[in-house]
C-alpha cells in the first residue's frame, strides 16, 4: 500500500472534531488563542496521539511542539510539515489545525503503510501563528528561523499585560514535552505546509488542490495616540485633545490612501482600544492596529511612509507614535517543492491550479531556511477567520494524500 492510499479520511476528520471541542464556541468555531488553557489542551491531545503511535515529541524555548517519526539514516536532516493550533478569538476549526493534523495523518499513513524513509519526517505545531493575542503573528516559526529574537519575544505582552514568557511557562507546565537543547531552530532538509485556502478561488474554479507558489508581504503596526482626558459635558471643542477623534482622522486618511484601483493592497484596522473607556470622559488614549499586505515590498514600504506622513499631519493636538510589530517580505516558494506538489497532485488525479497565498503562514519564515512549499485545499465560500469556516472531509483527505507523497519523496532525497 502506498502512503497516500493509507491516508484515512474518517480518522483525519475525527481528529478535527476532537480538536474543535477545545475552545469550541456556540457558533461552531473555536477560540483557542496562543498559550491559553485551550491551546495547552490541544498540545496535550496531539502529544497523546503521538505517544500512542510510538512517535517522539519535543518542544523548544518558544513552545513549538514537534512530533518525530524516525528515518533509516540517523544522520540525515529531517523533513518537516505542520502549521498552528492557535486560533483567532472567533476562529474556525480548520485554519492552522488542518496543517498540523494533515502532517500528523502523513506520519500515521507512513506508519500504517510500513513505508521506511531515509530521513526522519516530523510534524510541528508552531506557537502563536495568529498574533491575535501576542504580536507578532507567526512568532514560533519566526524565532525558529531567526527572524525574531527569542529574548525579545518572551517579553512581549498581550492586551491585558500578561507576558508571553509567563503564559508559555504555564502552558508548558500544563502540557509538558521534553525540551530541546539550545535556542529554537535546527537544520531542515525541507518544509511543506498544508492549509485551507482561506479564499474563494479553488471553490470558484472547482479545483481540489492549490499548488502554492508564493505568499504576499505583510506588515503590522500599532498606532498609539495620547491626548488628554477631560469632562464630556463641560469641555469646549477648542480645549479638547480627543485621542479617538485623532485616531478617526488618521484611519480615514489611511483608508483613502490605501484604496487602490486594482484592489491588490489589503488594509485592515482590526482592533481599537479607547481609554479610559468611560462614556462621559473625553478619551485621553486610543491605540489601534494596522495590518497591511501586498505582493510588492516596495508598495508596502511606500504605504508605511504614507502612514508616517498622515500621522504627523493628523494627530494634532494629540501626540502619536507608530510601532511596527511585524514586517515580512513577500516569499517565493522553492521550485523543487512547487513542482513536486504539482507532480504528486496530478499523479493522484486531483484537479489543481497554481496560486499565491493572500494569507500569511509559518511557511514564509521557514522558506528562508530550506526548500519550502504549501498545499491548499478549498474552504466553503472562502470564509476564514470566522466561526463558520468549513471544509469538506474529502478535500482535507486529498490534501493529506498529496502531502504524504511529497514528504515521502523529500524524505528519500
- Contact positions vs Mn ion (CB under 5 A): 95-96
Could you tell me how many residues of this chain bind ligand GLV (CB under 6 A)? 4
Helices (H), 29-96: 37-52
Minimal distance, residue 88 CB to Mn ion, in Å: 6
C-alpha torsion angle, residues 383, 392, 353, 263 (rounded to 10): 0
Q: Is 197 in the site for ligand GLV (CB under 6 A)?
A: no
**Residue placing its CB nearer to ligand GLV in the complex, 130 or 389:** 130
Residue 228 CB neighbours (<10 A): 16
Strand partners, 274: 286
Which listed residue (38, 60, 108, 130) binds ligand GLV by CB under 6 A?
A: 130
Instruction: Please check whether residue 107 is in contact with residue 67, taking contact to mean a CB–CB distance below 8 angstroms.
Output: yes
**Residue placing its CB nearer to Mn ion in the complex, 62 or 215:** 215
Minimal distance, residue 76 CB to Mn ion, in Å: 29
- Which among Mn ion, ligand GLV, none contacts residue 360 (Cβ within 5 to 8 A by kind)? ligand GLV
**Residue placing its CB nearer to ligand GLV in the complex, 196 or 315:** 196
Q: How many angstroms separate the CA atoms of 234 and 364, rounded?
A: 53
| Beta strand 190-196 pairing with 209-215 | unpaired
Minimal distance, residue 238 CB to Mn ion, in Å: 45
**Residue placing its CB nearer to ligand GLV in the complex, 384 or 408:** 384
Phi, psi of 304, deg, nearest 5: -65, -40
Binding residues for ligand GLV restricted to 134-153, rule: CB under 6 A: 137
Instruction: Please check whether residue 272 is in contact with residue 286, taking contact to mean a CB–CB distance below 8 angstroms.
Output: yes
- Which among Mn ion, ligand GLV, none contacts residue 283 (Cβ within 5 to 8 A by kind)? none
C-alpha torsion angle, residues 196, 200, 203, 209 (rounded to 10): -40
Binding residues for ligand GLV restricted to 336-375, rule: CB under 6 A: 359-360
Percent composition of the chain: helix, strand, coil (DSSP 3-state, to 5)? 35, 25, 40
Minimal distance, residue 129 CB to ligand GLV, in Å: 6
Overall residue count recorded for the chain in this entry? 413
User: Which residues here bind ligand GLV, judged by CB under 6 A?
Assistant: 130, 137, 359-360
Amino acid at each position: 500500500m502506498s502512503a497516500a492510499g493509507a491516508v484515512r479520511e474518517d480518522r483525519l476528520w475525527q481528529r478535527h472534531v476532537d480538536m474543535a471541542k477545545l475552545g469550541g464556541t456556540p457558533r461552531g468555531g473555536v477560540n483557542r488563542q496562543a498559550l491559553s488553557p485551550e491551546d495547552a489542551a490541544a498540545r496535550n491531545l496531539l502529544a497523546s496521539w503521538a505517544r500512542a503511535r510510538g512517535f517522539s515529541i519535543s518542544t523548544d524555548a518558544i513552545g513549538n511542539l514537534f512530533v518525530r517519526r524516525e528515518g533509516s539514516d540517523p544522520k540525515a536532516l529531517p523533513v518537516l510539515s505542520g502549521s498552528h493550533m492557535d486560533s483567532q478569538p472567533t476562529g474556525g476549526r480548520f485554519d492552522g489545525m488542518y496543517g498540523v493534523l494533515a502532517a500528523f495523518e502523513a506520519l500515521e499513513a507512513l506508519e500504517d503503510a510500513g513505508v521506511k524513509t531515509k530521513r526522519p519526517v516530523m510534524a510541528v505545531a508552531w506557537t502563536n501563528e495568529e498574533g491575535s493575542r501576542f504580536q507578532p503573528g507567526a512568532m514560533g516559526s519566526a524565532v525558529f528561523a531567526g527572524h525574531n529574537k527569542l529574548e525579545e519575544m518572551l517579553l512581549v505582552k498581550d492586551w491585558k499585560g500578561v507576558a508571553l514568557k509567563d503564559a508559555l511557562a504555564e502552558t508548558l507546565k500544563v502540557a509538558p514535552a521534553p525540551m530541546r537543547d539550545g535556542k529554537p531552530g535546527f537544520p531542515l532538509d525541507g518544509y511543506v505546509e498544508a492549509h485551507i485556502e482561506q479564499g474563494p478561488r479553488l471553490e470558484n474554479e472547482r479545483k481540489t488542490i492549490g499548488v502554492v507558489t508564493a505568499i504576499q508581504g505583510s506588515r503590522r503596526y500599532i498606532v498609539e495616540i495620547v491626548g488628554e482626558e477631560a469632562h464630556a459635558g463641560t469641555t469646549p471643542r477648542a480645549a479638547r485633545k480627543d485621542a479617538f477623534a485623532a485616531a478617526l482622522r488618521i484611519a480615514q486618511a489611511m483608508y483613502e490612501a490605501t484604496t487602490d484601483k486594482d484592489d491588490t493592497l489589503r488594509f485592515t484596522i482590526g482592533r481599537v482600544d479607547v481609554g479610559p473607556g468611560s462614556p462621559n470622559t473625553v478619551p485621553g488614549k486610543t491605540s489601534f492596529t494596522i495590518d497591511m499586505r501586498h505582493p510588492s515590498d516596495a508598495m508596502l514600504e511606500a504605504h508605511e511612509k504614507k502612514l508616517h506622513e498622515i500621522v504627523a499631519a493628523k494627530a494634532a493636538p494629540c501626540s502619536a507614535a507608530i510601532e511596527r510589530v511585524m514586517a515580512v517580505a513577500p516569499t517565493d516558494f522553492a521550485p523543487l517543492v512547487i513542482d513536486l506538489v504539482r507532480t504528486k497532485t496530478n499523479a493522484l488525479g486531483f484537479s489543481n491550479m497554481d496560486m499565491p497565498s493572500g494569507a500569511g503562514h509559518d511557511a514564509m519564515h521557514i522558506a528562508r531556511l530550506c526548500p519550502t512549499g504549501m498545499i491548499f485545499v478549498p474552504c466553503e465560500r472562502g470564509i476564514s477567520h470566522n466561526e463558520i469556516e468549513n471544509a469538506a472531509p474529502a478535500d482535507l483527505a486529498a490534501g493529506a494524500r498529496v502531502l504524504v507523497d511529497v514528504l515521502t519523496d523529500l524524505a528519500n532525497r
